[in-house]
Amino acid sequence: MDLRKRARKRLPNFAFEYLDGGAGGADNGIARNWGAFDAIEMIPRYGKVITPPPTDCTLFGKAYSAPVGVSPIGGPSTAFPGAERYLAAAAQTARIPYTLGVLSAITIEEAAKIAPDVLWLQLYRFAKNEHKIGMDLVKRAAAAGVNALVLTWDTPVRTTRPREVKSGIMNPFRLNNRLRLDAISSPPWLLSMMKNGIPKFVSLRPYMDGNASLAEAAAFMRREQGGAFTWDEIARYRDAWNGPLVIKGVLHPADADRAVSLGIDGLMITNHGGRQIDALPASIDALPAIAQQVDGRVTIIVDSGVRSGIDVARCLALGADAAFAGKAFLWSLGALGERGPAHMIDLLKDELSSTLGQLGCATIDELRKVKVRHPGAYTLADFVREM
Ligand SMILES: Cc1cc2nc3c(=O)[nH]c(=O)nc-3n(C[C@H](O)[C@H](O)[C@H](O)COP(=O)(O)O)c2cc1C
């Protein structure tokens, strides 16, 4: 959270408000995510010698150095220019998953060069013309060697984030003097923009005018993209993509069950970091019922509110295979610039290892045996009438 404070001081107001703001005006969903993690207690066991435990793990048959990853972020270069490159490079060096958002300022192909071993790709729903754009993105992902495909499900309609609107950056985006002044007030942001160029959604360039301004790109997105993938569409992407397929945005055990029956490989339990609607449960509170329903058939990843290695340990103790973060990585960029993501990864890994040690676990698998008190947890019994 110190990185968050520092990022707020160093970034232009619009950049911080874009990366940090939630849905609903009071950021209740974000506070709920954090509060839910903070309320979870784990009981340590003593009596054996513990050397600093390793954090290595395997996800979808691939070895990573920790069950920690970068969640997909659309337009992260608005928050900090060059974000995609810096995040991808740090993830590759540390060998943790980096999920490129489809709305990004580098192409899938460039990301695959920077992070060949750890690149995952997130897609939104581009349903026009029989998913022409979506299916082309799947082909490009396969050709580039992307390691997992993530379909975002939890954006059925657009949302308004009051802090973004008040900062002047959204609805609609127009580069006006207020934003220019705001940018000039932040040398780190400005210098990084001079180094990396004005951010554009270049991953979508084959499908729109190569010189599209940000405003035109936003209009393109409004026209071409939207809605949540239907069950039939998920089945279609399953057929089209041979690698690991992850559905992002699952909060109901019955949805998790049905997605698993379609042959997907992973579920991301998330409330989009509190950015879509303020009334959703914290994703960590939704985890136990889903983990029980899925019963080890697919890989479970949790995000939304993860700020520390202790939070990662809480996710694993409650049945997840990995925990990802969005805002924490953007805060690290805002606070420390290019070297922020590597610092954030080190923090998460070191804290995870020391939490394992403190709890008396010699490996991450032993976290599953830890006695946990989780006051906000949904249980399967809460869903009994709907299953
Ligand atoms: C600035 C920003 C942009 C995001 N854009 C996307 C996106 O394009 N696609 C997506 O699936 N999720 C997006 N997310 C949500 C993240 O993938 C992730 O679910 C969320 O950040 C997790 O919560 P946390 O920020 O508390 O870690 C975005 C999050 C942020 C902060």
Task: Render pLDDT for 106-163 as a digit per residue (tens, 0 to 9).
Answer: 999 999 999 999 999 999 999 998 999 999 999 999 999 999 999 999 998 888 888 8
Query: If you take atom 15 of ligand 1, which residue's CA is the nearest one?
Result: 272
Least Cα distance to 86 among 350, 358, 342, 308 occurs for: 342
What number of other Cβ atoms are within 10 A of residue 169's Cβ?
Answer: 26
Output the CA 160–ligand 1 centroid distance in Å: 14
Tokens 């990662």 correspond to 312
Query: Ligand 1 atom closest to Cα of 271?
Result: 19
Output the CA 128–ligand 1 centroid distance in Å: 24
Least Cα distance to 122 among 254, 308, 272 occurs for: 272
- Integer Cα distance of 260 and 116 in angstroms: 27
- Integer Cα distance of 65 and 56 in angstroms: 4
Output the CA 121–ligand 1 centroid distance in Å: 13
The sign of the CA dihedral 308, 310, 311, 316 is positive
Query: Ligand 1 atom closest to Cα of 325?
Result: 27
Output the ligand 1 site: residues, CB below 6 A: 18-19, 33, 71-74, 79, 101, 103, 122, 152, 248, 270, 272-273, 275, 303-306, 325-328
Query: Ligand 1 atom closest to Cα of 272?
Result: 19
Report yes or no: 345 and 68 within 8 Å, Cβ to Cβ: yes
Residue 156: burial class (beta carbons within 10 Å; 0-12, 13-18, 19+): middle
For residues 110-124, one letter each, b for 16 or more C-beta atoms within 10 angstroms of the residue's C-beta and e for the rest, the string is bbbebbeebbbbbbb
Report yes or no: 29 and 271 within 8 Å, Cβ to Cβ: yes
State both tokens at 149: 């495909």
Query: If you take atom 19 of ligand 1, which residue's CA is the nearest one?
Result: 272
Least Cα distance to 117 among 74, 65, 54, 81 occurs for: 65
Beta strands at 245-248 and 266-269: parallel, antiparallel or unpaired: parallel
Query: If you take atom 2 of ligand 1, which residue's CA is the nearest one?
Result: 73
Query: Ligand 1 atom closest to Cα of 268?
Result: 19
Output the CA 92–ligand 1 centroid distance in Å: 20
State both tokens at 16: 């911080």
Output the CA 73–ligand 1 centroid distance in Å: 5
Tokens 């939070």 correspond to 311
Beta strands at 68-70 and 322-325: parallel, antiparallel or unpaired: parallel
Report yes or no: 188 and 337 within 8 Å, Cβ to Cβ: yes
- Range list of H helices, 116-213: 128-144, 162-167, 177-184, 187-196
| Domains contained in the chain, CATH given | 2-386 (3.20.20.70)
Residue 273: DSSP 8-state: G
Of 16, 18, 73, 153, the residue with max ligand 1 atoms within 8 A of its CB, to mutate for a pocket test, comes to 73
For residues 266-290, one letter each, b for 16 or more C-beta atoms within 10 angstroms of the residue's C-beta and e for the rest, the string is bbbbbbbbbbbbbebbbbbbbbbbb
Output the CA 254–ligand 1 centroid distance in Å: 24
Give me the tens of pLDDT residue by residue for the chain, a chain 387 residues long: 799 999 999 999 999 999 999 998 899 999 999 999 999 999 999 998 888 899 999 999 999 999 999 999 998 999 999 999 999 999 999 999 999 999 999 999 999 999 999 999 999 999 998 999 999 999 999 999 999 999 999 998 888 888 888 887 765 556 677 888 888 889 999 999 999 988 888 888 889 876 666 677 778 888 899 999 999 999 999 999 999 999 999 999 999 999 999 999 999 999 999 999 999 999 999 999 999 999 999 999 999 999 999 999 999 999 999 999 999 999 999 999 999 999 999 999 999 999 999 999 999 999 999 999 999 999 999 998 766
Of 272, 327, 330, the residue with max ligand 1 atoms within 8 A of its CB, to mutate for a pocket test, comes to 272
Query: Ligand 1 atom closest to Cα of 74?
Result: 8
Report yes or no: 152 and 195 within 8 Å, Cβ to Cβ: no
Query: If you take atom 28 of ligand 1, which residue's CA is the nearest one?
Result: 73
Residues with a catalytic annotation lie at 272
Query: By 3-state DSSP, what share of the chain in percent is helix, strand and coil, each rounded to 5?
Result: 50, 10, 40
- Integer Cα distance of 65 and 50 in angstroms: 19
Report yes or no: 253 and 153 within 8 Å, Cβ to Cβ: no
Per DSSP, the three-state class of 138 is helix
Output the CA 357–ligand 1 centroid distance in Å: 30
